[in-house]
Each structure stands twice: as structure tokens, then as C-alpha cells.
Structure 1
Amino acid sequence: MARARDDDLSGETVPPQPASRDIGPARDTTRPAPQPASTLPKDPAPPAGSPRRPTAVLILLVTCQLMIVLDTAAVNVALPRIRDDLGFSPSGLSWVVNAEMLGFGGLLLLGGRAGDILGRRKVLLTGVALFAGGSLLSGLAPAAWWLVAARAVQGVGAALATPAALALLVAAFPGPARNRALGVYASVSGVGGAVGLILGGLLTDVGSWRWVLMINVPIGLALLLALPRFLDESERRPGRFDPAGALASTVGVIALSYGFIRAAAEGWGDTVTQVSFGVAALFLALFPVVELRVRQPVVPLRLFADRNRSGAYAILLLLAASMMSQFFFLVQFLQDVRKFSPLETGLAFLPMSAATFLCSRWTGRLSQQLSPRPLMAAGALCGTAGMVWLTRIDAGTGYAGGLLGPLLLFGTGLGLLLVMATSAGVSGVEPQHSGTASSMVHVAQRLGGGVGLAVLVTVFGSASRKSAARGNAADEVLADGISRAFTVGSAFMVCALLLSLLVIRVPKQP
């Protein structure tokens, strides 16, 4: 007997059969072909308006992802120079990263819904234009507040562009080809990280950190010219927006992260810190209440009914929380303690990026023979081992003996987890919810990166103050704080490993 699809958001019982463009009640009575036990559930057929030339469109869509990943990596290398020129405090410096991440993560849900309703190509082009414009404003920033505001504009643009790009990729590559395409898409994180770190270091050395922030401008202009030539507009889905739900989630996440940042600088007893946490608790508690009451929520809560999908979102959140701590803290350690130049710092991360790239491509192919759970567990185990190794960092830690090994381990785990968790997060979703599911993949990563970094900055600040009170030298104070932050990052990866073992399940086959 054919089983019911337990990830159908409509709640109807539908036999596992090849999808067609007709989503009405008629059923295909032919016996479905058997499929390997390792594959995720089949997905509905791509909607009308799918790309005309999938290969060309894949190149353009991964270029969108490359632009955003490149920006994050490049900015991390330039942080010490930005701090010195614009007068950021050590804990306040994280807002250069968090402003873009929180604008991105907070508005991603609304961005994914906008693509479903208004058309994904239109939303993608709008997002790319905003991101490129925000990059230009960032490079021209005369003061700290200007830079933070411009980075928030970049986050809004990324929130519109990213879910639209991923949803269009899912539509262009249905069936077994999807994991291979997602392998290319995920490997861009490795390529973008390597290119961003090296290019950011080079531009900072020979020019200025302002050049680093403006490298997205020519990429964005090229995309705006090329995308309309190769990409058809997607079919618009009838519906309405949920501004109340988007507002509740955005305000809640921003207030939560600001509370952690404020606590790192002023302490937990600070009035503003406590008010921020109170506002965050209120709005985050209101969010599911709002979503249950509106007819067309920004996030259908049934999206989380499938354990594989929910587990994948949680794994991506924890993975991003650990990954951002490496970029943020190791850049400062290499430049301030080991006295690396910005270019040398970028090159130091190249082995990690190369491992991510190679493992992402390999995982996309291997996923056709193996089930998702062992691949996710192997990735989480590698990531955990790398983070635990980094907790041993001190003022005397060298690159070859103390950093290269953990960076390679974490890069390997990152490549394995990104492909499989992204695939689980977008599989088995009805076409009208494709944009929302795609946005949730990136919401998990961006919220994990933003809130996780805020938590680790708080831990870093507390440990650094205690180390300074003991009379340690400046290098030892920095290393002590980083070591304690990596300890919490290791706990994040242990949780990801447990989720991959206990929550992820191979779907039963007919």
C-alpha cells in the first residue's frame, strides 16, 4: 500500500507518485517506480515560468549567492581597519556584521513570501539592486552609524534576493538533478569564502577597507543586466502579505541580538540590556500567535510538521552560529596576536574554503547513493571536532600546528552539512510555498549567524574582562576570550550532531 506524504502542507493524503503540473484531485493509478531508500521525498513539478536555460540560470543564481557570501567574508578581514578608522568599540564592531545579518534574517520571511506573490524574478532583481546600492553606501561611510545603516540596507536586499534565487534553482532542477545543483550552490559558500577573504585582504593591504565594501557594485550591475535575458518570471501565486507576522519576527530577533551585544559592553544588569530582552521575549512570543490567527501567514506553521525539514533548519542555525565565530574571532587573533597582514589572514582561511568546496560537490553526487542521516552526522562530527580543537587556542598558538587542522575539519563538515540540510529544507514542499521554504533555509543560517555571534561576543567579553583582571597581557586576554567563545561554539556543534542522529529520518518508501 502506498504511504501518505507526511510533508504535504495542504494536509491531504496523496500517494507518492511522480508530480505533474496538474495539482488537482485526479490521481495517477499506475504503479510508481521504486526509488532508492536514500532519497528525500519527491517534489511537485516545477511551476510555469521556470527558467528557459537551466545551466545558464544556475550560473547566474550561484553568482547571486557568491556576491552575498563574498561580502560577508571580505568584511571580516577588514574589521580591524574599520575599527581603527571609524572608532568602533571591540564589542560594537560586531554590528558591522550583525546589521547586515539581522536585516537579512529578520526580513527573509517576508522576502520569500513576496517572491511567491509578486514573482520571483522581480523580487530577485529588486534585492540585487538594493544590495549593490547598500554596498556603495557602505564604502562611502564617513562614520560608524552610517556604515551600520548601510549594512542594514544590504541585509534588506539580501533578504529579497536570496530566497527568490534558491526557489528558482529548485524549480529549474527537479528530481535527482536537484542535489547536484544544490552541491554547486553550496560549494559557492566555499568559493565565496576563499575569494572574499583573499580579495578582501588584498584590497585592504593595497588600498582601503572601503574598496572591500564596494566590490559588490560591479557584480550587482552585471546581474541586473544578465538576469532578465535568461530568466522568465515565475508564476504568481494568489495571496496576501502578513506584515504583522513579519514585524513580530523582525523586532524580536533584532531586540534579542541587541540585548546580547549590549550585555557584552555594559553587563547584564544594564537597564537597556534588560529592556531589550523583554521586548524580544514579547515579540517572539507573539509571532506564533499571529501566525495561527491570520489566513495566509508569512510562515505556515505546518511547514515544520515534517521532522526532517525542521531538523534541517535547526542544524543550519547551529552550524551558522559556530561558523561566524570562526571568521569573527580568528581574523582578530591572526592580525592582533600573530601579526598577520590582511592578505595573509585571507590566505589562512583558504584551506577551510577549499575543503568546503570539494566536499559540497562530492556530497551532491554521493547523496544519490547514501541516506541523508549518515552524511549529516559525519558533517556534524567533523565540525564538532574542529571546534573542540579550537578551544585549545592561546597566545602562543601557531597557524600550522594549532589552526590549520581544525579549519580543515570544520570546512569538511560544512560542505557535508550545507548540501544535505539545504536539500531537506526545500524538498517535498508545494509550489505555492517554495519561496517560504527557501527563505527558511536562509533564515536559519542568518539568524544562527547573527544571534550566535551576539551570544559568543557576550561570552568573549565576560572572559576577557576576567582575564584582564588577573593581570594578563593583551594577547593573553584576547586569546582567553576567544577560547571561551569557541567552547560555546563547540556546544552548538554537539547539538547539531545530536539532531542529525536523533531527529533526521530516512523517509519510508512504498
Structure 2
Amino acid sequence: MRRSPWATLAVLAFAQFIVVLDVTIVNVALPDIQTDLRFSSENLQWVISAYTLLFGGFLLLGGRAADLLGSRRVFVAGLALFGVTSLLAGFADSPGVLIAARAVQGLGGAMLSPAALSILTVTFPHGRERNIAMGVWGGLAGLGGTLGVVAGGLLVDSLDWRWVFFVNVPIVALIVLLTPTFVRHIPGAGAGARDFDALGATLGTTGLLAVVYGVVRAEPAGWGSLEVAGFLLGGAVLLTAFVVVESRSHAPLVPLRLFRSRALSTASVALGLNGAAFLSMFFLTSIYLQQVRGDSALEAGVHFLPMGAAAIAAAVGATQLVQRFGTRPVQLGGAILNVAGLALLMGVSAHGSYTSELLPGLVLFGIGIIGLGVPAQIAAVVDVENHEAGAASGVVTAFYQVGGALGLAVVTTLSLSHTTAALADGASQEQALVDGFHRGLLVAGVFTVIAIVVTFASPRISPNAEQLAKATAAA
């Protein structure tokens, strides 16, 4: 049976849409989740971090599984896992159950997302049609992030926080039913035991989890405690073992030779820092809007919309700017706008005007996060060989996700400790939360300043139209 490639695109893009939406839709529900399940302030960030860590940690293994077992098979399996764990998250009755469900949900996303991209690449031939398809794919993914905060607000205000998870279930069920009709079967290459780097994926993700847990526990237990030191040291040992395993693996998740490219190395670090700044800012601002300013979940979502609109507009123009000026100037400009946006947000008070205090910073940050991200993604893959472009894209995506989770852990810990100290010094609850918000944004700003330094070390690449098409497809 002949299947329309555009119908295939619709199914795949819709699946990617809900994966991205699920990152942002949960943010506006966090205060309600904290109250209902009695999350501690330091553990609340795990609702976000558990998802992003497992998503980033197993993204490369998911892509490898799709190549070997068949893209459609892994896509459907990832969808099913995503849907089942969404249902479990909705019924969660304790912090531990919700965090565990979110972690496995991230694993489902790590399976379906690279499989969907692989199907898309095979479905559309290289050239104009694939570029259009990739543009639709990326645009819907960006739209998912923007609409997530509004959809989350609507669901929380009109129903309950649990519906930010329940809403995935019928959507996933529909996509699973439609997939055999609109997505053709793509046979895998066949898998032997040596073709799966399961040990590498386990060591890398477990090591990252240990480091993040150590950072999170630093605020209540103290940086010098045996618990914190043990987890940080254990994480470092596991990550070292991960590098050793990757260097000797027959089919490594992360081909270390890729990092011989200065463009890919600097782009990966910059994207990791970008992810850290973005997730931290989003998390902190969601809490600030609802717990300090008294926004409802829907009002908080609507207040994020201008940032999302600015990001979409920036995505349209960034590629053209890269063609004209090269990657480094555009990336540098994006990072500077990020710093400017965060600096403006650090000036907000508890009851200041949204239009004059919050809006300018949100818009600048929305432009900057894309202004940095697009040229970095292009630079990462533009000078690698065609047969390694997919691996390079997977590496930088994983850096972004994992960098976001690690950065969020650091920012949340330092923000919370500053809030606690302010309360101990006699500040009101409201003022202490504002002080903690400012401190967290300051740390996010430090991440972005480091990204500026990294950008200066990156090569200036001026891709031609063919290289740009390849980079856009891989990214």
C-alpha cells in the first residue's frame, strides 16, 4: 500500500509535538503538585529533571535501537511506554511514584523521538521536500513548547493537575492506531549483543543521576556531608567508566572521535549551557508567577506566551542570519541577549507591572535562547561526514537535555538555600522567594556568560546552501 509522505509527516510531527509539550506543560502545574503530593521544595525539581535526564541519557541508545530493530517498531514501543507512564503519573499518590513515572516517561520519549526523525529522513528524499518536512517538524516541536504552558494552565485551572498527564493518553492511543496505516514498516539492520551499548547508556545515565542527586541533597545535608560527597564521587567514577567503555565499545553510543571537531565540541558545550539556562529560568519563573505574584496556572501560561512567540520569530530569522554572517556572530548575539533578558528579570519585584518588569526580559530571553541554539546546532553537524551527521545530532541533543537537568539541579539548590537564608534573617516569605528567584537567575546568567566564552572559542562557519540544508535536516 502506498502511503502519502505528508500523512506520515503529520503522524510523526504530532508525536514529537506531545513529547516537547510534556516538558513545558508540567511547569505551570508544579505548585499544585507540590501542595497535593507534599513535595519538599528541594525535591520538586525532580518532576522536571527525572524526565529530561532519562530522555537525554537514553536518546542515543534509542536512536541506535531504531536503526537495528526497525524505526516504526521502536517508535510504537516508545509511544506505548510514554502513554502508559503518563497514565501512571496522573494516578501518582506520592512524590516517589510521580518521579519514577516521569523518569520512565523520559525513556519512552528517548525511544520515539529519534525513531520518528529516522522515519522522516527515510520517507523524504534529500532536498527541498525534506527541508520542508524538517521545517514543519521543528516548527510543531517549538509550538508544542509554547502551547504547553497555556494548555497546562487550562487543565490545572479547569480540572486538576493530574490532567496534564492524562491528556497524553488518548492522544498517544490515537497515534498508535494511526501509525500502521500512515507509517510504512522500515526493517532494521538486525541486532547482535555487541550492537547495543546498553552498558554505556546505563553508566552514563546512572552517573548523571548520582551527580544531580548529590547537588540536590547539598542544600539540606550540606556540601561537606558524607551523603553528598559519596554521590558526587560515585557519579564521577561512573562517568569516567562511561568514557572508558565508549572508547572501547564496538558500537559506542557516543563516538568519541566526533569531539576532535572543534565546532562540534564547542557547540555541544554551548547547547548544554543553553539548556541549563532555559530550564532553570522556566522553572523559577513558573514558581515565581504563581507563588509570589499570585497568578493562576492559566495566567502564568499566558504570561509565557510572548517569550514563545519571540522564540518562534527568532527561529525563522536565525538561519538566514547564519547564512549571511556565519555561525559565531549569531551565536554570540543570542548569548548576549540571553544575559540581557536574565538581567532584566533579576530586577522584578513582588508586585511590579508585568508589562514593564517581566515582559521585556521574557522577550529578549526568548529571542536569545534560539539565537544561540540555532547556529550552535548548525555548527555541530555542518563539518562532520554525512554518515555521522545523525550521531553528531544525537550528541548535541543529549548535551542540551542533560545540561538542562544538571543546570536545573544547581540553580534550584542555590536558589532554595538563598531563600532559606533570607527567611532566617527575618525576611517575609514573599521577599525571601523573590530573593531566591533573583539568585537562581544570577546563576543561570553565569551559565550564559560561560556560553559566551565558549562561543569565542568556536570556529566561524559560513555554510553554503547545501551544507545548511544538511545541518537543518540533522538538527
Q: Which residue of 1 aligns with 2:230?
A: 275
Q: Which residue of 1 aligns with 2:353?
A: 398
Alpha-carbon offset, residue 480 of structure 1: 0.8
- The gaps in structure 2 that reach 5 residues or longer are 468-475
Q: Which amino acid aligns with 2:279?
A: M
Q: Which residue of 2 aligns with 1:80?
A: 31
Q: Deviations over 1:227-266 (max 9, x none)?
A: 3333334463466111221121011111011111111332
- Equivalent position to 1:359, from 293, 314, 338: 314
Q: Which residue of 2 aligns with 1:441?
A: 396
- Equivalent position to 1:291, from 246, 260, 265: 246
Q: Which residue of 2 aligns with 1:34?
A: none
Superposed counterparts of 1:269-348, under 5 Å: 269-348=224-303
Q: Which residue of 2 aligns with 1:197?
A: 149
Q: Which has the higher contact order (CA 8 A, sep 6+)?
A: 1
2:225 corresponds to 1:266: no
Does the 8 Å CA contact 2:63/2:114 hold for their aligned counterparts?
A: yes
Partners in 2 of 1:183 and 1:497 — Cα distance? 27
Superposed counterparts of 1:104-503, under 5 Å: 104-171=55-122, 172=124, 174-175=126-127, 181-234=133-186, 236-237=188-189, 240-364=195-319, 367-427=322-382, 433=388, 435-503=390-458
Does the 8 Å CA contact 1:119/1:233 hold for their aligned counterparts?
A: yes
Q: Deviations over 1:49-75 (max 9, x none)?
A: xx9654433333332221012112111
Q: Which amino acid aligns with 2:306?
A: P
Q: Deviations over 1:186-210 (max 9, x none)?
A: 4334411221111111111111001
Does the 8 Å CA contact 1:249/1:284 hold for their aligned counterparts?
A: yes
Q: Which amino acid aligns with 2:315?
A: S
- CA-atom RMSD, angstroms? 2.5
SS at 1:93 equivalent = coil
Alpha-carbon offset, residue 119 of structure 1: 2.1
Alpha-carbon offset, residue 417 of structure 1: 3.3
Q: Which amino acid aligns with 1:455?
A: V
Does the 8 Å CA contact 2:76/2:176 hold for their aligned counterparts?
A: yes
Does the 8 Å CA contact 1:167/1:434 hold for their aligned counterparts?
A: no
Partners in 1 of 2:276 and 2:7 — Cα distance? 33
Distance 1:491 1:169, change over 3 A: farther
Q: Which amino acid aligns with 1:61?
A: L
Distance 1:63 1:415, change over 3 A: farther
Alpha-carbon offset, residue 102 of structure 1: 1.6
Partners in 1 of 2:136 and 2:320 — Cα distance? 10
Does the 8 Å CA contact 1:166/1:438 hold for their aligned counterparts?
A: no
2:50 corresponds to 1:95: no
Identity %: 41
Partners in 2 of 1:244 and 1:149 — Cα distance? 21
Q: Which residue of 2 aligns with 1:45?
A: none
Alpha-carbon offset, residue 308 of structure 1: 2.0
Alpha-carbon offset, residue 97 of structure 1: 1.0
Distance 1:486 1:374, change over 3 A: same
Q: Which amino acid aligns with 1:208?
A: D
Alpha-carbon offset, residue 79 of structure 1: 0.5
Query: Larger Rg: 1 or 2?
Result: 1
Does the 8 Å CA contact 1:179/1:364 hold for their aligned counterparts?
A: no
Is 387-396 or 179-188 further displaced after alignment?
A: 179-188
The total of aligned residue pairs comes to 460
Does the 8 Å CA contact 1:179/1:365 hold for their aligned counterparts?
A: no
Alpha-carbon offset, residue 386 of structure 1: 0.9
Q: Which amino acid aligns with 1:225?
A: L
SS at 1:209 equivalent = coil
Alpha-carbon offset, residue 430 of structure 1: 5.3
Partners in 2 of 1:173 and 1:360 — Cα distance? 24
- The gaps in structure 1 that reach 5 residues or longer are 1-50
Q: Which amino acid aligns with 2:85?
A: G
Partners in 2 of 1:378 and 1:173 — Cα distance? 34
Q: Which has the higher helix share?
A: 2
Is 216-225 or 66-75 further displaced after alignment?
A: 216-225
Does the 8 Å CA contact 1:113/1:436 hold for their aligned counterparts?
A: no
SS at 2:162 equivalent = helix
Does the 8 Å CA contact 1:322/1:452 hold for their aligned counterparts?
A: yes
Alpha-carbon offset, residue 435 of structure 1: 4.7
Partners in 1 of 2:463 and 2:281 — Cα distance? 38
Does the 8 Å CA contact 2:264/2:392 hold for their aligned counterparts?
A: no
Q: Which residue of 1 aligns with 2:471?
A: none
SS at 1:376 equivalent = helix
Distance 1:130 1:423, change over 3 A: farther
Q: Which amino acid aligns with 2:20?
A: V
Q: Deviations over 1:384-421 (max 9, x none)?
A: 21122222234344322211111101111223334333
Distance 1:477 1:271, change over 3 A: same
